[in-house]
Amino acid sequence: MNNKVPRISPRLAAKTALSLLGLGLVVVLAQSTAPKRPYAGWSEFGGAMDSMQYSSLTQINKTNVTKLERAWTHLTPGRGGRFPFSPLIADGVMYVIGDGPAIVALDAATGKQLWSHPVDGTPTSRGINYWQSPDRSDRRIIFSVDSYLQEVNALTGVTINTFGNDGRVNLREGLGRDVKNVRQVQSGSPGHVFENLIILGSAPGELYDSPPGDLRAYDVRTGKNVWTFHTIPRPGEYGYETWPKDAWKYAGGANTWSEFAIDEKRGIAYFPLGSPTYDLYGADRIGADLFGNCLLALDARTGKRLWHFQTVHHDLWDYDLVTGPKLLTVRHEGKMVDIVAQPGKTGFLYVFNRVTGEPLWPIEERPVPKSDVPGEQSWPTQPYPTKPPPFGVQKFGVDQINPYLDEAEKARIRDIMLNARNEGIFTPPVVGKTQIEVPGAHGSGNWGGAAGDPATGMLYVRAWNGPDTRVLTERQPESQGGSSGRALYSRNCGDCHGPDRANLPAPANIKADLVRETVRLGKGEMPPIPVRDLSAPDLDAIIAYLVNPGSGGGRGVVQPTQSLRPPMSPPPPGQTRYWGPYGNPFRATNGMPAIGPPWTELVAYDLNEGTIKWRTTLGSIPGLAAKGIRNTGSVRPRNGPIVTAGGLIFVGSNGDGYIHAFDKDTGKVLWEIELEATPDGIPAVYEVAGRQYVAFFAGGGGDGVVTKITKPEAQGYYVFALPTSAPKPTKKRE
């Protein structure tokens, strides 16, 4: 396995630097002396350190947004299907992930490539970080590749070898686990730069044997670890008693795999944390399980806990806190209060005093259904905010079945529902019987799904209304060494696609070439899997099993270190382990949701009052739009909106290929355009030489029923601006 970071030659580096200086020295110097305007740039993930997804630029506004036109496009057809990237812009340069893969610098006004830094592996997929020294003599792009934190010079793209160990910091180290058994820690989201620290969450997974999701800060210049917060407490640490003794030695997860926010003035970082392992069964983690499913406030300089609130106790639903918290100031009971607003997968919006952690409105502990899974001890109550009202659907009855299905399909779904455990939100999983989970594991709120307006106290949430179904089954640890296709599928694929292949097409519809392409390039929410993690013989064995499940599939021949993760360890003595398919959408046989629309909505909260001001559908699905049925909402989005001082909300509906501009005061669509690909990620708003731009990433894929079929060659970055004025003719001298 080659982990060597590719280098750019000194000659090329010098040539690139001179080229950049020739192109932009005047602009850079001018920008360095200009006063910093709040929210006027996009040099940080989410637009700012507080991840607000807000721009104070007003050149594009309600009166002229209909005149937007495409300014330039940068296509990346070789990147595969899973790539919801959010561009970064600094000093008139846009930094993106491009073909290769590579970190790429583009002229933000024209799209012209300035430099490209190839990377060996899978880079951070949702964004990257920018840091500069106070005198701007040192400017760096910070990113991760295959769980190695790395940096390059922002002007040249050359690796900074003085960072870490010859240019890299191994993020697998320092977790209290054998590094050989830690497959991945790197998150798709890039973290945040605060002063001279790069602060990171992680994505170790939430499966059996996943490592803990510790929060960590590293020195930007040296790569030295400055602080670590153990999200699964160790002896003597706060919260240790909420777990079984020694759980920190085997439990994992409880991680911030998405975005977080920093109050720069106070030096407080707010982390939304995910589920502990295993996220659907917790007999080996009896207790409330802090800091799983918590909004956690830490001192950004030291990692010291300031306060926390747990939104789900002893999670059995994969109800991570995912959407980035928003830091707003609102009028509450006659006073201005600094708050943090946290949307949940649960569909609830949790609102707290940003400093003290006190809820702005009461949050009540209410009884919830009890689990009957052997060995499980579900928590008897869960937190319910009394205000504001939920933004997502939290129950699914037979009267809500999708009206656009034929009668036979409606009857099939009704029969499933009448024989399932279906008690609304917090219905626990069941062994050998269908559980209906609503919201589903993808949540009503997910990655990138909210934008805040610091000028008004408004919060805009992208909500997904879709239930899941799940059946828990007993799981045994796999053996070491070469395995049958069935065992390889169980180990590497079953946690997401289901032990019963619930999330996969019928065997007759499995196309081997398509499976290989999807595995290697990624598609939708599935990341690309390189040969070093899943060898060609192992993949062939899995495909043989998928095509003919009764045969058990072919046989792999490689060592287990080349599998996606090591074989699962045996359960504790006297204990059985259960598992179920993660995020198994409850859908019809044609792929449409079992529940009726609206599927995706944009919900506007006035947090001065704790009320919903308006809500509207976001997008359509191709299968219904072809019949003239539109504005139903798209299906299973994982993207985000941005709001501007120009009175607009920009957001894509990634199932149908459209990008939209909504009136932020009314929810009315003011402008929309269909792209050749499907918009994904969080847009970026920025300004170069007095001209405002809006940038979107758009990806490929689609099935033609609920998502648009797009061509890989259309994938890339699409940038829009208002038309430039035509040049005035030069008056001839008499």
CATH number for the domain that contains residue 555: 1.10.760.10
- Predicted confidence band of residue 476 (pLDDT cuts 50, 70, 90): low
Q: Cβ neighbours of residue 278 under 8 Å, at least 6 residues apart?
A: 206, 207, 208, 577, 579
Q: Cβ neighbours of residue 697 under 8 Å, at least 6 residues apart?
A: 83, 84, 85, 86, 87, 96, 679, 680, 681, 716, 717, 718
Same domain, 607 and 539: no
Same domain, 512 and 618: no
pLDDT tens figures, 303-339? 999 999 999 999 999 999 999 999 999 999 999 999 9
Return the minimum-mean-pLDDT range out of 392-401, 448-457, 553-562, 577-586. Answer: 553-562
Q: For residue 220, is it within any domain? A: no
In sequence order, the β-bridge partners of residue 227 are 217
d(CA 696, CA 575): 49
Q: 């190839």: which residue's tokens? A: 118
The pairing of beta strand 268-272 with beta strand 294-299: antiparallel
Q: For residue 224, is it within any domain? A: no
Q: Residue 510: its pLDDT value, please?
A: 78
Same domain, 494 and 452: no
Same domain, 553 and 645: no
Kindly report the number of other CB atoms within 10 A of residue 454's CB atom.
19
Q: What percent of the chain has pLDDT over 90?
A: 69
Closest CA to 698 of 673, 663, 723: 673
Q: For residue 514, is it within any domain? A: yes
Closest CA to 696 of 686, 713, 711, 681: 681
Same domain, 696 and 627: yes
Same domain, 621 and 701: yes
d(CA 580, CA 29): 57
Q: Residue 415: its pLDDT value, please?
A: 97
Q: How crowded is the C-beta side of 2, counted as CA atoms within 13 Å? A: 7
- 500 has pLDDT over 80: no
- Quote the tokens at residue 19: 């080229």
Q: What percent of the chain has pLDDT over 70?
A: 84
Q: Residue 77: its pLDDT value, please?
A: 81
Q: Cβ neighbours of residue 389 under 8 Å, at least 6 residues apart?
A: 611, 612
Q: 């065992």: which residue's tokens? A: 487
pLDDT tens figures, 669-704? 999 999 999 898 999 999 999 999 999 999 877 888
Same domain, 626 and 658: yes
Q: Residue 118: its pLDDT value, please?
A: 95
Q: Residue 556: its pLDDT value, please?
A: 54
- 563 has pLDDT over 60: no
Q: 568 phi and psi, to 5 degrees?
A: -65, 140
User: Average pLDDT of 498-511?
Assistant: 66
Helix axes 536-547, 485-492, angle to 10 degrees: 100
Q: Which residue, 543, 567, 591, sits at the end of a domain?
A: 567
pLDDT tens figures, 135-175? 999 999 999 999 999 999 999 999 999 999 999 999 999 99
Tell me which residue range forms the domain holding 674. 40-77+448-462+602-734
d(CA 211, CA 207): 9
d(CA 393, CA 410): 20
Q: For residue 426, is it within any domain? A: no
Q: Residue 471: its pLDDT value, please?
A: 92
Q: Cβ neighbours of residue 277 under 8 Å, at least 6 residues apart?
A: 205, 206, 207, 208, 209, 210, 251, 252, 253, 285
- Predicted confidence band of residue 25 (pLDDT cuts 50, 70, 90): very low
Task: Please answer whether residues 473 and 495 qualify as being in contact, where contact means their C-beta atoms are separated by less than 8 angstroms.
Answer: no
Same domain, 731 and 613: yes
Q: 139 phi and psi, to 5 degrees?
A: -130, 130
Report whether the peptide linkage leading into residue 637 is cis, meaning its omega lies within 30 degrees of zero: no
User: Average pLDDT of 339-356?
Assistant: 98
Kindly report the number of other CB atoms within 10 A of residue 502's CB atom.
15
Q: Residue 206: its pLDDT value, please?
A: 84
d(CA 695, CA 583): 30
Same domain, 455 and 519: no
Same domain, 554 and 632: no
- Quote the tokens at residue 656: 């149908």
**DSSP notation for 623-637:** HHHTTT---S--SS-
Q: Which residue, 549, 567, 585, sits at the end of a domain?
A: 567
Torsion sign across C-alpha atoms 434, 510, 588, 496: positive
Same domain, 548 and 619: no
pLDDT tens figures, 419-429? 999 999 999 99
- 560 has pLDDT over 70: no
Q: 125 phi and psi, to 5 degrees?
A: -95, -15
Q: Residue 240: its pLDDT value, please?
A: 98
In sequence order, the β-bridge partners of residue 270 are 261, 297
Q: Residue 643: its pLDDT value, please?
A: 98
DSSP code of residue 325: P
- 732 has pLDDT over 60: no
Return the minimum-mean-pLDDT range out of 91-95, 304-308, 528-532. Answer: 528-532
- 14 has pLDDT over 60: no
Q: For residue 93, is it within any domain? A: no
- Predicted confidence band of residue 23 (pLDDT cuts 50, 70, 90): very low
DSSP code of residue 734: -
d(CA 243, CA 233): 8
Output the CA angle 314-476-433, nearest 5 degrees. 60
Query: Could you give the number of structural domains in the chain?
Result: 2
DSSP reduced 3-state for 24: helix
d(CA 280, CA 579): 7
Q: Residue 575: its pLDDT value, please?
A: 76
Kindly report the number of other CB atoms within 10 A of residue 167's CB atom.
19
Q: Residue 456: its pLDDT value, please?
A: 97
User: Average pLDDT of 441-469?
Assistant: 96
Whole-number mean pLDDT of the chain? Answer: 87
pLDDT tens figures, 274-301? 999 999 999 999 999 999 999 999 999 9
Q: Residue 527: its pLDDT value, please?
A: 58
Q: Residue 27: its pLDDT value, please?
A: 38
Q: Residue 1: its pLDDT value, please?
A: 34
Q: Residue 459: its pLDDT value, please?
A: 98
What is the 3-state secondary structure of 580-603?
A: CCCCCECECCCCCECECCCCEEEE
pLDDT tens figures, 509-527? 677 777 876 777 665 556 5
Task: Please answer whether residues 445 and 343 qualify as being in contact, where contact means their C-beta atoms are separated by less than 8 angstroms.
Answer: yes
pLDDT tens figures, 620-672? 999 999 999 999 999 878 789 999 999 999 999 988 999 999 999 999 999 99
Closest CA to 696 of 712, 715, 710, 724: 715
d(CA 178, CA 134): 39
Q: Residue 260: its pLDDT value, please?
A: 98
Which has more confidence, 580 or 96?
96
DSSP reduced 3-state for 471: coil
Q: For residue 726, is it within any domain? A: yes
Q: Which residue, 567, 583, 617, sits at the end of a domain?
A: 567
d(CA 95, CA 113): 10
Q: For residue 22, is it within any domain? A: no
Same domain, 661 and 694: yes
Return the minimum-mean-pLDDT range out of 431-440, 457-466, 681-690, 694-703. Answer: 694-703
Q: For residue 521, is it within any domain? A: yes
